[in-house]
Amino acid sequence: MSDPDEARRRRRPRVRAVAAAAALTLVAPMAACGSGDAGGPPTINLYYPPEQNLQKVVDDCNAQAQGRYEIAYRVLPRQADDQRVQMVRRLAAEDTGMDVLGLDVTWTQEFASADWIREWTGQDKAEVEQGTLAGPLDTARYEDKLFAAPKNTNVQLLWYRKDLVPQPPKSWDQMITAAQQLKDQGKPYQVLTMGAQYEGLVVLYNTLAESAGGKILNDDGTQAVMDDGTVRALEQLQRFATSGVTSPSFTNATEDPVRLEFQSGAGAFQVNWPFVYPALQEANPELAKQVGWARIPGVDENTPSKVTIGGVNLAVSSYSRHPELSFEAARCIRDAEHQKFSAINDGVPPTIEAVYDEPEMTEAYPMKDTILEELKEPATRPLTPAYQSISTVLSAILSPPSEIRPQQTADELRSAIADALQSKGVLP
Amino acid sequence: MSINATPTGADTAVEETERHATVPAQRGSRRKAPLSENKKAERKLGWLLCAPAALVMVAVTAYPIIYSVWLSLQRFDLRFPDERQFIGLENYVTVLTNEFWWTAFGVTMLITVVTVAVELVLGMGLAIIMHRTLVGRGLVRTSALIPYGIVTVVAAFSWRYAWTPGTGYLADLFSDGAPLTERASSLAIIMLAEIWKTTPFMALLLMAGLALVPEDLLKAASTDGATAWQKFTKVMLPVMKPAILVALLFRTLDAFRVFDNIFVLTAGGNETSSVSMLAYNNLIRGLNLGIGSTMSVLIFITVAIIAFVFVKLFGTAAPGSDDGERR
Amino acid sequence: MATGTETTTRARLRWGLLDVLVVVFALVPVLWIASLSFKTPATITDGNFIPQEWTLDNYRTIFDTDQFVRALINSIGIALIATLIAVVLGAMAAYAISRLDFPGKGLLVGVSLLIAMFPQVSLVSPLFEIERQLGLFDTWPGLILPYITFALPLAIYTLSAFFKQIPWDLEKAAKMDGATQGQAFRRVIAPLAAPGLFTTAILVFIFCWNDFLFAISLTSTERSRTVPAALSFFTGASQFEDPTGAICAAAVVITVPIILFVLFFQRRIVSGLTSGAVKG
């Protein structure tokens, strides 16, 4: 057997040199980084989801600030989960680099309870509450204090084919019957909406539950209720899923695929956010002419629906170095003028009621009256710091909707939600 | 020098006897003069060569890993920092008595076993083609490796499109309904996507293993009238054993942590959640650091057991095992 | 290394057929991604494998701002540096593990495997805190370091497996035949080690190239954001519209460096043991 010792000894210096070089490469760039703050006005870092024309709003606010502050728009990832993770991770580390945060309406209570965001008080609070719709404002409160300023809201509508359906249905059962008739006649008949195991399914269920007068949680969001109304909503969802009028992809469908399916002409009805309309006009103008909109059907035909609201709230980080300026910057971004701009250019519905009366809105938002009607009687998703856990539980237990057994599923949900509220047990 | 001097050993028996004869002798001599100049130098060189790698790995991962294990022993939800407390193994009891965990565990095991087994067979075939083909070798090698280079999430999205009725070319071809809305077909598609994506990883490692098979041995075996199968099992496999172990080991580690494909294709719907998705839901979405870390540790333990079994099965072919290094 | 004796047309045909099979298996899904990237928004969901209406708009979109180009530069730089360092460090350690006898060897092999096994999702948050305190957050080294770390186990294992199969005696034999130490290493050992080294390089490069978890968690601006992370900042026309076309176009573009990298390195993965070497 060989003995390479001699060879090794001779090669050693070279090995050392390589090791040293490798170590240097590792260390050198580390030393090179690290930067200081430059002079000039304080920077307000705005962390906000991607919105195409928000930079223009930011520029405008910077001009109005006249050098008192400079907002820098730091774009968050597209997916809601990625947005939340990034903010949570940095807030948990008490990062001072974030000032104003764009929070999905369902996160406000969570961030407030963890002391990651500041309460709005005094003049800032008064200005935000002035003229803002009650529903969106509710999503910004935690324990009766205001923790965020609603920047924009959102509601789903019923989109239907006027050439196939003369009158929009008043209830889900009417809609199912109408679709079944269309199916028998061999016409496009499907009712398209989101049914995959994710937030979209929770939004659908929450709309049904609130429309049926049900409560998932008690009023202060501390206990699981799951009353009769929520059971009726489960029955409705199950009936819908098994009626044969959904798309075969229903249990795997998210917003954009639903829009695309309707766009291709397969559906007679679509329950989806308003973004589908401008997209439809662009992609299939012929079909767009045949499409009407209405308030989402109720569970009873005589009780109008209550529709789940979405949207974004602006909050100020507890670790911001410039809290006063941050409140001011946030107010500027969400003021009436800028909400109108964003509504027209980025399609996000305003939270200030008066903006809907602006003349330019009619052209950009032909469906604004229906939106406003839904917004005035809205359904919020459970307002609790544990919302994300509840949502995970709801979507997992409700999926697939065809296998819901109403009373039994309600009991299962009640105990799973109770656990989630106390952060007990395992999330699915 | 004869062919037997190579580590491959067309004739393994001969090599075994050689080894048995020499290794104890060596050990014996080592014991007699433990601090000889040569040995000291060898030790020093060994440490010196390993130090940079070891330092980097330890510096980056020691704290995060220890911290995760520590978290798994606590009740700690980021949203309720006041309720943080040490609870010993309670989180482990919670997770291990939960049916979501076991469902996900079963799904993950199924995916791991099926994909790794299929990939080993496909990868071996692919490696032989890539290594021995007479025409267009560069083309085959490069195109075969492309799937591994595609960003997983994008690939998963394209599969999702392909398998959704109306938007894809595969859905209508293979079924009437929507294959991603049923458990069996969803799992099959997830596994297909995994296999397509990572077979090249297997194949590349195995191909590099094939490159070590001496042509002479193959030729000698041919002259002796060995069939193709005999050449494969008696000549090629023994040489490739270490490469196969590494390929199997690292693919299994990865397969058991499957996440992206499921996340995009079904989001865990219809009971297709994997243990990594469960850990993600608890740790990242639920911000329950205690339970989430517990799941991470459990995944880690499971994978460690699998790895241990592999290393034992392959015995001396495992890196660092104390026999074959000096020839 | 053709089999030499029978390079007949039939053999070529058989291999050709197998080649086609492999290429189809590997590339059809890739072509589907490419096809999506060339479709117009109106036809992207028509389900046709070949686009009915072709457009380059998606490619224009991604090169519209310098966001994507910056990410591409970051990706290439970070992946190349991390690959180089990981392979060098890995080769050093693997050489020691496969050839030298020293205490602590088993520990190193074991620990590196443990590191590869721990679910990365639970390591990211503590890592983020460390990097933020050291000022490494959102810098190239901030990504390069974890990439080296998590690539090293694979590199060490792969390389030890290959180094172990190298008949190091040949080096001695060559020297007996009058070659110098350098010549022996260059002519005999290096060619034998090359397949393992280049294989490792390809695997490590692709690992760094495709990583999403660290890229999204340890960066926050264009300064160090890599392509997989940048993809999640692409936006559709509105909040809920997926920028599928643009993402597919980006996926096609970033496959090009992979192809070049593999093209360059795959030639070097050839049978190292020729008869000449063995007979010395």
Give the burial string for A34-49 (b: 16+ CB within 10 Å, else e).
Answer: eeeeeeeeebbbbbbb
Interchain contact, B286 vs A399, CB within 8 Å: no
Quickly state the pLDDT bin for A11 (edges 50, 70, 90). very low
Task: Give yes or no: residues A65 and A163 share one domain.
Answer: no
> Is the model's pLDDT at A246 over the cut of 90?
yes
Smallest Cα distance from A315 to chain B, Å = 17
Strands A267-272 and A378-379 turn out to be: unpaired
**Partner residue facing C93 (CB), from B50, B155, B284:** B50
Residue-wise pLDDT tens digits, C21-35: 999 989 999 999 999
- Identify from B83, B175, B281 which residue to disrupt to test chain A contact, counting A C-beta atoms within 10 A and taking the largest count: B281
Task: Give yes or no: residues A315 and A292 share one domain.
Answer: no
Interchain contact, C88 vs A22, CB within 8 Å: yes
C210 with C257: CB under 8 angstroms? no
- pLDDT at position B326 is 38
B250 with B310: CB under 8 angstroms? no
Smallest Cα distance from C98 to chain B, Å = 5
Q: How many CB atoms lie within 10 A of CB B136?
A: 16
Residue from B200, B235, B198 nearest B127 by CA = B200
What is the arithmetic mean of pLDDT over C57-79?
91
- How many percent of chain A have pLDDT more than 70? 91
Residue found by looking up tokens 């969570």 in the block: A110
- How many percent of chain C have pLDDT more than 90? 31
Distance CA B153, CA B150 (A): 9
In a domain, residue B324? The reply is no
Interchain contact, C99 vs A4, CB within 8 Å: yes
Distance CA A89, CA A319 (A): 13
Distance CA A101, CA A140 (A): 13
On chain C, the residues whose CB falls within 8 A of the CB of A261 are 45
Name the phi and psi angles at A11, rounded to 5. -85, -10
In a domain, residue A173? The reply is yes
Interchain contact, B270 vs A251, CB within 8 Å: yes
Distance CA B302, CA B279 (A): 14
On chain A, the residues whose CB falls within 8 A of the CB of C236 are 256
A300: left (phi over 0), alpha (psi -120 to 50) or beta: beta
For C123-184, the DSSP string reads THHHHHHHHHHHT-TTSHHHHHHHHHHHHHHHHHHHHHHHHHHS-THHHHHHHHTT--HHHH
Quickly state the pLDDT bin for C167 (edges 50, 70, 90). confident
- pLDDT at position A37 is 47
Smallest Cα distance from A81 to chain C, Å = 11
Q: From residue C236, give the alpha-carbon distance in Å to each of A50, A159, A195, B46, C231.
A: 9, 21, 21, 54, 12
Q: Tell me how long chain B is.
A: 327
Residue from C225, C276, C185, C173 nearest C67 by CA = C225
Distance CA B264, CA A259 (A): 18
Radius of gyration, alpha carbons of chain B: 25
In a domain, residue A24? The reply is no
- pLDDT at position B320 is 64
How many beta-carbon contacts under 8 Å exist across A and B?
132
Query: Strand pairing partners for A158?
Result: A271, A294
SS (H, E, C) B182-208: CHHHHHHHHHHHHHHHHHHHHHHHHHH
Residue from A111, A86, A155 nearest A306 by CA = A155
- pLDDT at position A36 is 37
**Partner residue facing C93 (CB), from B53, B279, B322:** B53
B265 with B153: CB under 8 angstroms? no
Long-range contacts of B99-102 (CB under 8 A, 24+ apart): B100/A396, B100/A426, B100/A427, B100/A428, B100/B273, B100/B278, B101/A426, B101/B275, B101/B278, B101/B295
Residue found by looking up tokens 């027209």 in the block: A344
Task: Give yes or no: residues A369 and A407 share one domain.
Answer: no
In a domain, residue B243? The reply is yes
Whether chain A has a CB inside 8 Å of the CB on B278: the answer is yes
Task: Give yes or no: residues A121 and A252 share one domain.
Answer: no
B319 with B242: CB under 8 angstroms? yes
Q: What is the mean pLDDT of chain C?
A: 85
User: Domain count of chain B?
Assistant: 1
Within 218-277 of C, beta carbons closer than 8 Å to B belong to 227-228, 231, 244, 247-248, 250-251, 254-255, 258-259, 262-263, 266-267, 269-275
On chain A, the residues whose CB falls within 8 A of the CB of B288 are 389, 423, 427
- Show the tokens assigned to A219: 């009023």
- Show the tokens assigned to A241: 């899923």
Task: Give yes or no: residues A117 and A239 share one domain.
Answer: no
Smallest Cα distance from C119 to chain B, Å = 6
Residue of A nearest to B282 (CA): A427
Domain residue limits at B263: 95-317
Smallest Cα distance from C132 to chain B, Å = 13
Side chain identity, residue C17: L
Within 130-149 of C, beta carbons closer than 8 Å to B belong to 130, 145-146, 148-149
A91 with A116: CB under 8 angstroms? yes
Task: Give yes or no: residues A182 and A286 share one domain.
Answer: yes
Smallest Cα distance from B61 to chain C, Å = 7
Give the pLDDT of chain B (327 residues) as one tens digit per residue: 333 333 333 333 333 333 343 434 444 444 444 567 888 888 889 899 999 999 999 999 999 999 999 999 999 888 877 888 899 899 999 999 998 999 999 999 999 999 999 999 999 999 999 888 878 888 888 888 899 988 888 899 889 888 888 777 887 777 667 788 888 889 999 999 999 999 999 998 898 888 878 888 888 888 888 888 888 888 888 888 888 998 999 999 899 989 989 988 988 888 899 999 999 889 888 889 899 999 999 999 999 999 889 888 887 667 766 544 333
> Is the model's pLDDT at A217 over the cut of 80?
yes
Q: From residue B204, give the alpha-carbon distance in Å to each of A277, C189, C265.
A: 49, 21, 12
**Partner residue facing A1 (CB), from B22, B80, B286:** B22
- pLDDT at position B175 is 67
Q: What is the DSSP letter of A133?
A: -
Name the phi and psi angles at B308, rounded to 5. -60, -45
Interchain contact, C45 vs A261, CB within 8 Å: yes
Domain residue limits at A400: 156-308+382-421
A329 with A100: CB under 8 angstroms? yes
Interchain contact, A198 vs B281, CB within 8 Å: no
Q: What is the mean pLDDT of chain A?
A: 89
Kindly report the CATH number assigned to the domain that includes residue A268: 3.40.190.10
Residue-wise pLDDT tens digits, A82-118: 899 889 988 988 889 999 999 999 999 999 999 999 9
| pTM, 2 dp | 0.84
On chain A, the residues whose CB falls within 8 A of the CB of B38 are 5
In a domain, residue A348? The reply is yes
- Identify from B27, B58, B79 which residue to disrupt to test chain A contact, counting A C-beta atoms within 10 A and taking the largest count: B79
What is the arithmetic mean of pLDDT over C38-47?
81
Residue-wise pLDDT tens digits, B152-183: 888 998 898 888 887 778 877 776 677 888 88
Name the phi and psi angles at A257, rounded to 5. -55, -35
Task: Give yes or no: residues A131 and A251 share one domain.
Answer: no
Residue found by looking up tokens 């040995």 in the block: B39
In a domain, residue A3? The reply is no
Within 86-105 of A, beta carbons closer than 8 Å to C belong to 86, 89, 92-93, 95
- Identify from A6, A33, A99, A157 which residue to disrupt to test chain C contact, counting C C-beta atoms within 10 A and taking the largest count: A33
Query: Strand pairing partners for A103?
Result: A313
Query: Strand pairing partners for A217?
Result: A224
User: Domain count of chain A?
Assistant: 2
Q: Decide which of A184 and B13 is more confident.
A: A184
C120 with C212: CB under 8 angstroms? no
Side chain identity, residue C115: I
ipTM, 2 decimals? 0.85
In a domain, residue A10? The reply is no
**Partner residue facing B100 (CB), from A385, A399, A426:** A426
Whether chain C has a CB inside 8 Å of the CB on B210: the answer is yes
Helix pair angle (B152-163, B183-210), 10° resolution: 140
Domain ranges of chain C: 1-55, 66-279
Within 104-123 of B, beta carbons closer than 8 Å to A belong to none
How many beta-carbon contacts under 8 Å exist across B and C?
352
- pLDDT at position C196 is 84
**Partner residue facing C235 (CB), from A52, A93, A256:** A52
> Longest Cα pair distance anywhere in chain A, in angstroms?
95
Distance CA A222, CA A216 (A): 11
Smallest Cα distance from A370 to chain B, Å = 31
Residue from C231, C232, C233, C226 nearest C211 by CA = C226
Task: Give yes or no: residues A179 and A304 share one domain.
Answer: yes
Distance CA B264, CA C37 (A): 19
Residue of B nearest to C116 (CA): B253
The chains in contact with chain A, meaning 3 or more Cβ pairs closer than 8 Å, are B, C
Smallest Cα distance from B182 to chain A, Å = 9
Within 125-144 of C, beta carbons closer than 8 Å to A belong to 125, 128-129, 132, 134-136, 139-141, 144
Within 8-67 of A, beta carbons closer than 8 Å to C belong to 8, 10-11, 15, 18-19, 22, 25-26, 29-30, 33-34, 49-52
Query: Strand pairing partners for A132?
Result: A352
Residue from A144, C155, A134, C202 nearest B57 by CA = C155
CATH homologous superfamily of C66-279 equals MetI-like (1.10.3720.10)
**Partner residue facing C168 (CB), from A4, A19, A93:** A4
Quickly state the pLDDT bin for A240 (edges 50, 70, 90). very high
Interchain contact, B51 vs A85, CB within 8 Å: no
- pLDDT at position A24 is 40
Task: Give yes or no: residues A196 and A293 share one domain.
Answer: yes
How many beta-carbon contacts under 8 Å exist across A and C?
106
> Is the model's pLDDT at A16 over the cut of 70?
no
Task: Give yes or no: residues A297 and A168 share one domain.
Answer: yes
On chain A, the residues whose CB falls within 8 A of the CB of B281 are 392, 427-428
> Is the model's pLDDT at A131 over the cut of 90?
yes
On chain A, the residues whose CB falls within 8 A of the CB of B79 are 110, 113-114, 385-386, 423
Q: CB-based burial of residue A401 (10 Å sphere; 0-12 exposed, 13-18 middle, 19+ buried)?
A: buried
- Show the tokens assigned to A71: 């907002």
On chain C, the residues whose CB falls within 8 A of the CB of B161 are 32, 36, 45, 244
> Is the model's pLDDT at C198 over the cut of 80?
yes
Task: Give yes or no: residues A330 and A216 share one domain.
Answer: no
User: Which residues lie below 8 Å from residue B116, measured CB to CB, with a gap of 6+?
Assistant: B248, B251, B252, B255
> Is the model's pLDDT at A9 over the cut of 50?
no
> Longest Cα pair distance anywhere in chain B, in angstroms?
77
- pLDDT at position B18 is 39
**Partner residue facing C41 (CB), from A82, A275, A283:** A283
Strand ranges (E), A280-398? 291-294, 307-316, 378-379
Interchain contact, A25 vs C140, CB within 8 Å: no
> Is the model's pLDDT at A23 over the cut of 60?
no
Task: Give yes or no: residues A170 and A300 share one domain.
Answer: yes
